[in-house]
Chains A and B, each alone.
Chain A
Amino acid sequence: MVSENNQDLDSLAIEFLRLINDIIPWRDLPNEVKRDKWRILAKRVMASSGGDIQEFLHNIVKSIAGDSFYVTRGEEGKEERCRLGERLEEYLKEVKKKVKDIGKEEELINYIKSRAIPLVIRLSAEKGET
């Protein structure tokens, strides 16, 4: 199990990948990319960087989907659409709030980059798309 010190980092990291997965318009991407989406996502996360978490997210999305991304998305079991911008804003607030406890944003970025593959496997299992 992830150590207690890393619990916050871990939950922020998996939420970060959920957000990216929702923002990227996978449906509009070529079939080759869609077929291998989890590998591509993991590799892009490992290869991307950013001065802060927002820039890191931007770079990952851009490296996969260019300039196209979703701003809203239907949510499972709900009629209304989820505003991804709002979710991102909430997420960034959460990161800022927890940054005090976990150190720098850089630590979160490093955590995500260094554990991209298991985090992506977890996300794919969560989505039932393994």
Chain B
Amino acid sequence: MLLYGVVARTQKSFDGLPALAEITHHQLVVATALASNKVLFFAGLLHDILKPLLKFKKSTGGWQWHHLDGLEVDNTKANLEKIFKQGLSSILSENDIELLTQLILQHHQRDAVRYNPIAFAENDRSGLGIAIMEATLFPKKNLEHMGLYTCIEAKGLIHPYHFFVLTLIYQGIKYYLNKVYSEIFSSQGLTKLIVEYNFGSEKLPEIRYDNGNSVLTIRYYIPSTLFKDWKVSHEYEGEASFNIKEIEAKNIKIYHSWSDILTLLVPSLSINGLAYKVLCVIPRIITYGDKGIIIDGNAISSFVNRARKIVDNVLAEIQEHVRLDSSYDEVLLRYVEGTEQGNFKCIFCGKRTDREVKLSRGKLLSERFTDYHRIQAGVSVCPLCHVGFSYEELLRNQGPAFYLPLPCEISSIDIADDFKQKYLTYGACPINPKEGVVLSVLGLSTMQLMSNAWYMSLLKEIDRRSPLPSWIKPYTLRAQKDVNEFYVKFLINRKIVIYPLIVKIRPKALISSYGGENKKFVLNTEILEGHTLWRGSELDVTEEHLDVLEALTTTLKYSAYKKVYGKLVSLYGLRE
């Protein structure tokens, strides 16, 4: 089981339908929109810091999640100003801290959307409404009016190669935008954010700002008997990529880049059917001062220009590494966006293309290619499939596995028993997953991180053997010595806690190639979905199989986990 964090919101519908949004992610999204000055930025990062205490009360209007001043915590009344003065005095003046406290305390007042920038950022009716990305996958509002920029809208993807190329582009955009976010946050005094979740007793959160290194640490105490003594730390920074490490028993560290939260690949509806959008949160969009709250058009256009340049660079970089025609930079974008032209037909996907690609021996399909039953009649290859095929070849030659995590599916969702117990007297729980969970833009990114987390328990990053675009990372199966009880248990039971939600996931990934053999017999690129979680030469690992192994997770001793993992790899013949 992986303890990941704490929920950020519930929906009023269906008696408290949960949303897969994590509290730090929510605060980071709001803070990004407010990153036009230090006070606003830190107010965004800290505006809900009492929420992880999970103090719900039922009133006539339904459940209220109390999280502002006056909240009684461990028999004392919470005083936010005191917490901020203790933690932020090395970066903000006394006046600034007073303003920050005031902004946070006001953000749920009636009509706050008119005068409070946090409320403005969150409110979808009269404000920006960026927080609505946690509540729905298809917001009614135009995404750009919500503070989200669409880097690319992909349409008409009909082959695994198409989705593979789109995901490569997304990873590239994410990588470079992370640097942009990092630069903007650094200019506001934040190079690293550390969030610690300490499960056990009820205590007020603590904040510490390290002026020398520009690091903000937020320490939450979550009242939970079920997960008593567990500690989970998140680290967010410009250079990090997603990873999970067990520091010691019941102490997990999870590394994120800023972009893991702020750059998203989501499905969307278009008149031509399902499309995909690469979205990102526009930083510094809200300014606040004497003239009140203003949406800053200059900040939007300056960010959009940078994002456009990033898209161009990523497309060029993708093309350079497989040395295709340099005109592919532009053509690739057209094909991703659903345009096709020409009279040649692609042998992989059937799309039309205006250029001829030689397929015969010694050309694209070498004499080693045998997967003829998976190609169609045709005389050429469309640019998307050409890039996909070439990358598959390139990555397989690098070996070992190359995978891109996709948002997981949710197999089951439950509420932690200790949380339910607290509300027994009410006869109902403030969070009710009976009808499942809200699928939302931010929820999909959480589900992607969940998938990623699961694959990290099976795979580890290896040093690249030859030049690849900077964001492409080859992985290999963990060796027996690299696993521990935490990884193996999580690999088997696939449960993630966003307290109080306990979610069992069905991980998904796009596999470009498995490594190990420098030859091409078959097309490798595929989406692992449904019940297959990883391919094996003897048998694929499926959900049902891991369910059978779950009986072991309560009985095994620490050292036996490595051996179980070794057996799993050898008996299934798991592919590297």
Contacts and interface: CB of A to CB of B under 8 A. Distances in A.
A121 B550 contact: no
A128 B560 CA distance: 8
Contact of A121 (B493, B538, B549): B549
Contact of A115 (B538, B544, B552): B544
A122 B548 CA distance: 8
Interface stretch (B40-48, B171-179, B316-324, B562-570): B562-570
Contact of B567 (A2, A46, A114, A121): A121
B359 interface: no
A130 B547 contact: no
Interface string A37-50: 01100110010000
Contacts of B563: 125, 130
Contacts, number: 57
Given A117-B571, A120-B571, A125-B556, A2 B564 contact: no
Given A42-B571, A125-B552, A118 B546 contact: yes
Contacts of A106: none
B545 interface: yes
B570 A2 contact: no
Contact of B571 (A1, A114, A121): A121
B249 interface: no
Nearest to A130: B563
B294 interface: no
A38 B569 CA distance: 13
Contacts of B552: 121-122, 125
A118 B548 contact: yes
A63 interface: no
B548 A115 contact: yes
B532 to A, nearest CB: 14
A125 B571 contact: no
Contacts of A14: 551
Nearest to A120: B571
Contact of A118 (B549, B560, B566): B549
B522 interface: no
Contact of A124 (B546, B547, B567): B567
B544 A130 contact: no
A115 B354 CA distance: 50
A119 B567 CA distance: 12
B547 A38 contact: no
Contacts of B493: 1
B571 to A, nearest CB: 5
B230 interface: no
A45 B556 CA distance: 24
Given A115-B544, A117-B545, A118-B549, A39 B570 contact: yes
Contacts of B560: 125, 128, 130
Interface in A36-70: 38-39, 42-43, 46
B138 interface: no
A2 B550 contact: yes
B570 A117 contact: no
Contacts of A31: none
Contacts of A114: 544
Contacts of A128: 560
Interface string B441-467: 000000000000000000000000000
A130 B571 CA distance: 11
Contacts of B564: 121, 125, 130
Interface string B534-546: 0000110000111
Interface in A81-130: 114-115, 117-122, 124-125, 128, 130
B548 A119 contact: yes
A2 B351 CA distance: 44
Of the listed residues B493, B551, B568, the one surrounded by the most CB atoms of chain A closer than 10 A to its CB is B551
Interface of B: 493, 538-539, 544-552, 556, 560, 563-564, 566-568, 570-572
21 contacts: A1-B493, A2-B547, A3-B547, A10-B551, A14-B551, A38-B567, A43-B538, A114-B544, A115-B544, A117-B538, A118-B545, A119-B548, A120-B571, A121-B549, A121-B552, A121-B568, A122-B549, A122-B552, A124-B567, A125-B564, A125-B567
Interface of A: 1-3, 10, 14, 38-39, 42-43, 46, 114-115, 117-122, 124-125, 128, 130
Given A2-B547, A122-B551, 18 more contacts: A1-B493, A2-B550, A2-B551, A3-B547, A38-B567, A39-B571, A115-B548, A118-B546, A121-B564, A122-B548, A122-B549, A125-B560, A125-B563, A125-B564, A125-B567, A130-B563, A130-B566, A130-B567
